[in-house]
Every structure is written in structure tokens, then in C-alpha cells.
Amino acid sequence: MRASRATARLVCVLTLAWCPSAGPLVAQVTDAAGPAPTAQQLEFFEKHVRPLLITHCYACHSAEADAPETELRLDSRPGILQGGARGAAVVPGEPEKSLLIKAVRYADPLLQMPPSGRLAPREVDVLVEWVRMGAPDPRSEAAQPAAPKQPYTVSAEARQWWSFQPMREPAVPVVQNERWPACEIDRFVLAGLEAHGMTPAPPAEKRVLIRRATFALTGLPPTLEEIDAFVADDATDAFAKAVDRLLASPHYGERWGRRWLDLVRYADTSGCNSDFPIPEAYRYRNYVIDSFNRDKPYDRFLREQLAGDLLAAEGEDSPSEDSNQRRYEQIVATGYLAISRRFSSLAEEFHLTLDDTVDNFGKAILGLTISCARCHAHKFDPIPQEDYYALYGIFQSTTYSFPGTEIYRHTQDLVPLVPAERRHKELLPYLERTAELDARIFATYSHMATLDTGDEKNELRARWQAMQKERDELVKSLPDFPKAYAASEGTPINARLHLKGNPESLGPEIPRGFLQILGGQKLAAGQPASGRRQLAEWITDPQNPLTARVMVNRVWQHHFGRGLVRTPDDFGTRGAPPTHPELLDYLALRFIEDGWSLKALHRRILLSRAWQTACLENADYARRDPDNERLWTFNRRRLEAEEFRDAMLAISGALDRSPGGAHPFKPEWEWRYSQHQPFVDDFATNRRTVYLMQQRIRQQPFLAVFDGADTNAATGVRQVSTTPQQALFLLNSEFAHEQAALLADRLAREAPQSRARLDRAFRLALGRPATGVETDEGLEYIERIEPLLASAGIADRDRSRAAWASYLRVLLSGNEFMFIE
């Protein structure tokens, strides 16, 4: 990065950041009185200036402006001299000091007016000349002082939107067919069906159900033993036992943790232009998986991710011998904040990372598009810009671990996961040395960036590079200790509103706090902390109408293929209203009552008859309810990328079921990544797909083809695309061919006899025995393909394996394997 202007700005912004008390750089307000304009000057104004202002400026900067997003008024002399948030628009006689001139010159990319396009040079000249002559202006009537901005209040109307209303205990509906419901969920669903003269589909067959449930809870196919045991179990609670078994499996966390990782756009790299690796990110990934496996209450799960370090410091848990481990876990949880996306190499663009945090926090946890209020009040939902910056300030007061960038290739602010004593004795001296060296490296770079080409610059560059090498050596010499890529408390500061979202155009200071529509709690003035602790409480308050609703909707969505609210990341007025609002509230209230237990919620849903219906077609119903919103039948769904790959590995026997650990990144002291040579790698593994290393600059190739989650933005709904590239993967990829061959080997071992082998293949892949037709067809296929393989030069001893692999790969390519019913 050698863009001189950029780095000059970098230095400037950082200087401001270091001095949080520094005031805004606004021009002095000039006295409105001035020498009376001459007739000639007034003529100039009327002929040239007024038309120009009317044409290009009044739409936003006058009393007539529709929706003034600014205080600046250009329709009177007092208005111009008083100016807007940045100060006076014009300093009479001083074009070079006048913001108006600066803006129309378009020289500063951050202050360019009119925004629709630059004025013609002649028009700019007119304005410059006018200012130089003292800005003569007959419009002396004081502008209607822009009405002082009313503090924002949420209107009663806005509060009426369903999702902002408190959750209400619904009356469980009365149904005609009393024999059908197994639980309250069923009553809600059945009531909806009966109201439209529809009846639910019969229950799914047991083989279908166990395949459905096993993929639903673990993302893996059932084993032959699991299928047989379930089919043989005639007890009335056979399915309940199976669900409990699946929820107790460590694979449950891998499956459902992945859903959370989708939402928080998890990646093992930073997303900056060089996509620096984050070797410690895996700890957060494993924390998520582990939390799901332990059925950590969802409210606590959220609190830990926002403020785990503070909970740890408060000793929320009783001190015990494993209190250190608990503490570390809670620190790791704040990886949620630290994995926010990084942009470019410039510290000055860190505001984009904070924006990313707010955006993700809103969508993933609250189901609100808060980020729409970054530049202006949300156009549709009751979220003023102030609310955006009330949250922003909380994250701005937080220190995120730094992953390194091209300019500065070392990590900073990682949190050591060691006992306080060790930290103090062993690490502190090192931490002090690195901090000191970091400061020098930074100062050198900043100075260098301001210099023109020449010896001094070259000398500084050499010094800067030498210091980075010194830093490498320091890292290298360090004792190995576990650390977390996490968040910690920074300098508490209220954010200043970014006018039009521009971080260099600062408006009033906004006290840190919560969304007004959700209570509008504020931090106590002078609060010596970021406010994450309070934020964690506000969002998990059982009175909060969104947090529980949003999460139960997500769980419902994954079990039924679609949420009760079809827009799971948007519960605002642009989102879809719920198809079954009472059911949604019923589930949300039970969720809270159950101590925010997700496993209890799964149990509730899976044990309903609504979830256990067969997957059928009905032309009449399809016409009346094309999206099956009333849920008369189970929605067929395609395997997600992870399920597909994991199932192939599981069936072939190649799946490594052990949990994944750290990825084999190069050590930090060898990092030389740059925008020209960004980090790009694949670390092959036969572990579950959730453990694959995922980047932000380059999508993991397999996941890119099969609609994997976006590592750059919250993915609430996976796309289900059907592309020829997916088919090519099955036809031609090494992976597909290898798994088929391994499955052939496995079957040859386990079932030497051909008919039994075919049958076993069907049971493994599809969860059912082969039919007579399928068996005959399979035998014929093997028989017919062997000569083709022989003529293709496949040696005798390999031919049978190749023939079976060919057959099995087709079996695994079929729709029956790829879809869950």
C-alpha cells in the first residue's frame, strides 16, 4: 500500500482516534453583517448565483427541501453563514476557506456537492468569484431557523408492527379432529388446515422418518444399525428415544453450530485485501459447536458472545477449580465480535468493521436490518440514525483482536488464555516489548507515508522493514501459550453520529444505548465500560419481543424448510409477517420457559405430528397453497453442502468423526501476505465439512458450488441453486470418484454376495432396501459395464471394483440420495 493520499489520511484519522476529546474541525461562524452589496454585485448574484443555487442546491438545502437530511440551508445569507454541522458554508471573501467551494470543487472525495454530479467548471468559477466578492446576497431575511431537531420518539403506529408487540400467550385453538394432534404445535397447524378444508398427510414411514430426523439433528445419514433398531422398536416412545439419542450425539453440535456459524459469517481469515489467516478463529468455531452440544441456554450463549470477557471478570460462575477453563471459554466466545470482517489495510477503514458488527448483530440476533440506519433514519422501520450510533459506540469502545494486515503483518490484542500469574510473570515483559515496538513501527510507517520519494523515505522504509523483522524474531522467541482471537474492553467513548454515514463528517455525540423500539435503555452517563455487559442483558431480557421469536423461527425454518416468518433475518416491516403468529409466540414463550433450551425446542418440534407427516403431492392443495404454508405435508429438502459431503464420507467409511482443531497455518513470523500475494490455501481433511478452513477472499471451492454460506455476510437462508457445475462435481470430481470407490471396497468386505451388496448399498445411501427391479437392474448394470471397462483398458483385477464404483457413484448422484423427505 503506497497510496500517498490514503496514508496521509490514515495518519490524520488515527491522530484523532488517539485524542477522543478532540473537537470537530469546524470553521468559525462568521458574523452575518457585512458591507452592503453594490447594485452590480446584486446583479451578479441574481443573474448567475441564485439560479445556480436553486437548480443544484435547494432540493436539499432550503426551507422547501422535502426531507432535509442536513441542517445546512443555502436559501438565505444567514443560512449560508451559519452553515451546517461542519460549520459555515461560506467565509465571505475567502473562497479557499469556504466549504461550499471545497464541496463543488469535488477535490475532497468526502465532501462533494452536488452529489448528483459535479458542476460545470464555469459554474464553479461563478461561485468562487461570488465568494471572493464577499458573497453579496440580498436574501437577508433570516432563514426560518431550521426547526431544532425533535428528539426521536417511536410512534404509536410504529409500535403496532407485530414483531415489536410483546409476545402474548395465545389461546390454543380448538380443532375438529381431536385424534390427530399429539401436542399444541399440532393444534395450531391443524386449526389452520381445517379452516381451509385441508387434512394433514399421513405419518411418514419409519425408515423415512429416521433418515429425516438423523439428517435434521446431526447432518449425517443414520447407520444401518440405527435404522434397524428404530424400525424394530414398537414402543410408543420409540421416536422420542431416537430424538434424545440424536440430540445427545456430538454430531448434533456440529450440525446446529454450523447454522450459527452461517449467521455470524464465520471464516478462518480476516477478509482484508490480503485475507490474513486467523489461526485462533477455530477456538470460537469449537466454542459454538460445544455450546450447542451442551445445550447452553441461548440467552447465556448470546451474553457470552457479546460480553463473555466481562462475565468472566465478574465471576458470573462460582469460582471453582475449573474456573479458569470457564473464563477462557467466555473469552473465546467474544470471538463473535472479533471475527467481524476486516477491510483493506488501512486502520482508517476500521469503521467498516464496526458497521459490519452492527449489521450482523442486527440481522443474526434481532432479525432487524439496523444497518439501514447507518446513513439516515431507517426508511421502513422505526430505527433512527441515533440508534445505530448508540450501538456503534458500544463496539467502538471495544478492542477487537487485530489479525495483521499487509502494512503491519503481526497480530495484536490477542487474549492470552493463561492464569493471571503466568500472564504476569512470563508474558507481561513480552507484551510490553511488543507494544513498544508496535508503536515505533507504526510511527515510522506513518511518517514514511507522508514523504515524497527520496532518500529519507527509503531510509525510513528500510528501518520499518527491519523493525518488522525484529518483531518476527520477538514472536518466534515467545513461549507458546494458548490465546484467543477475541474482544476486550477498549476506551469507553460515545460515538458521534456519522453524517450521511460518512465517518469523517461527524455529527452530535450519541450516548451508548439500545434501540428505542426495543426499550431504548441508555448507559449511565460516565459509565467506565463499553456497555457490552448491559447490551447483553438488554437483548436477552425475556421482555425483548425479538430475540426469542427470531431464534425459534430459525429452528422452525431448518426443520420445516421455511420459517413461520419467511424472512428470518428481517422481522421489520419489509419482512414477511408470520404465517402462524400465535404458534410463533407459543414457541417463543415455551423456549424462554424452558430456560432458552434449544434441545427442548427441537424435541417439541420433532415430536409433533406436523413434523412427522409424509412428503406427498396433492394437486388441489398445491393450487390453493402453493408454498405449503399451512404445512399439510413435509417439505422435501435438498441436502445442504455439508450434509452432502459428510454423508458421502460417512457412507464410504472415510469420514473422520473426530472434532477439528487448529488449521495448519504457517507461523506468524513467516507471514508475508499482501494484496498482491494474498493468503490462499486449502487444508484437505476427511473431517466433517464444518471443520474445513474457510476464507473470505476466496470461497472454499466445494462450498462455492453447493451453495455454502457466505463468509462475508449473515446467511439466514441458504440458496438452493441447481447448476451444471454441481452435476459436473458428481460426474467428474476426484472426490466423488474416490468416495464411490471406497464405498465399493467397503461393500465388497461387508457383503461379498452381489444381491446382498446391492441391498446394503441402498440401505446405506437411501435408508431403505433395494426393490427387486432395482436389484435386477443393478446386476445387469454391473454385467454390462464390465466389458466396457475392459475395452477401456481397466485391468481384470480392478474391473469389479471399477464397475461397482461406477454404479455406486450413480446411486449417490440420484435425487433420492440428494433429497430428504
Partner 1 sequence: MTTLQARRWERRHVIQSLACGSLLLPGIVADLLAEDTSRQSADPLVPRPPHYAPRAKRVIYLFMTGGVSHLESFDPKPKLAADAGQKYNGRTLLGPQFKFAPAGQCGTPVSELFPSIATCADDLCVVRSLTGSHFEHFQATLGVHTGSLTVKRPSIGSWVSYGLGTDNRDLPSFVVLAPHLPYAGTQVWSSDFLPVCHQGTRVAPGDEPIQNLHRRSPTSAVQEMELDLLARFNGRHRQDRPSDPLLTGRIQSFETAFGMQRAMPDVLDLSQESPSTLALYGLEPGSTDGFAWQCLVARRMAERGVRFIELIDTGSSNNWDSHTNMQDHVAKAKNVDQAIAGLLKDLKQRGMLDETLVVWTTEFGRTPHTDGPTGRSHHPYVFSSWLAGGGVRGGIVYGASDDYGYEVAENAVHIHDFHATILHLLGLDHERLTYRHAGRDFRLTDVHGRIVTDIIA
Smallest separation, CB 267 to partner 1 (Å): 12
Nearest to partner 1 of 179, 676 (CB atom): 676
Nearest to partner 1 of 357, 540 (CB atom): 357
Smallest separation, CB 454 to partner 1 (Å): 8
Cα 406 to Cα 408: distance, rounded to the nearest angstrom: 6
Helix H segments across 19-120? 39-44, 50-56, 77-82, 99-105
Residue 719 near residue 628, CB atoms below 8 Å = no
What letter would DSSP give residue 119? P
Using alpha carbons, select from 167, 139, 37, 209 the residue that is nearest to residue 820. 209
Smallest separation, CB 752 to partner 1 (Å): 23
Smallest separation, CB 724 to partner 1 (Å): 4
Smallest separation, CB 209 to partner 1 (Å): 17
DSSP-assigned letters across all residues of 391-440: HHHHHHTEEEPB---SSS-S-B--EE-S-HHHIIIIIHHHHHHHHHHHHH
Nearest to partner 1 of 108, 432 (CB atom): 108
Nearest to partner 1 of 175, 803 (CB atom): 803
Nearest to partner 1 of 77, 363 (CB atom): 363
Phi then psi dihedrals of residue 496, to 5 deg: -100, 140
Smallest separation, CB 737 to partner 1 (Å): 5
CA 363 to chain centre: 8
Q: Which residues, at least 6 apart from 56, have a Cβ–Cβ distance to it below 8 Å?
A: 113, 114, 119, 123
Provide the pairing of β-strand 483-484 with 415-416. antiparallel
Nearest to partner 1 of 535, 770 (CB atom): 770
Smallest separation, CB 747 to partner 1 (Å): 17
Nearest to partner 1 of 433, 698 (CB atom): 698
Using alpha carbons, select from 814, 437, 445, 401 the residue that is nearest to residue 644. 814
Residue 660 near residue 685, CB atoms below 8 Å = yes
**E strand or H helix that includes residue 291:** helix 281-293
Query: 503 preceded by cis ω (within 30°)?
Result: no
Nearest to partner 1 of 712, 754 (CB atom): 712
- Hey, CA dihedral for 420, 424, 426, 430, is it positive or negative? positive
Nearest to partner 1 of 73, 105 (CB atom): 105
Per-residue 3-state assignment (H helix, E strand, C coil) for 535-564: HHHHHHCCCCCCHHHHHHHHHHHHHHCCCC
Cα 480 to Cα 497: distance, rounded to the nearest angstrom: 42
What letter would DSSP give residue 635? P
**E strand or H helix that includes residue 12:** helix 4-18
Smallest separation, CB 109 to partner 1 (Å): 7
Smallest separation, CB 732 to partner 1 (Å): 4
Using alpha carbons, select from 53, 95, 91, 55 the residue that is nearest to residue 73. 53
Smallest separation, CB 349 to partner 1 (Å): 8
Smallest separation, CB 806 to partner 1 (Å): 6
What letter would DSSP give residue 376? S
Q: Alpha carbon of 485 to those of 331, 333, 404: distances in Å? A: 9, 9, 12
- Hey, CA dihedral for 17, 19, 24, 26, is it positive or negative? negative
Nearest to partner 1 of 381, 668 (CB atom): 381
Smallest separation, CB 698 to partner 1 (Å): 4
Nearest to partner 1 of 238, 375 (CB atom): 375
Nearest to partner 1 of 594, 710 (CB atom): 710
Strand partners, 820: 637
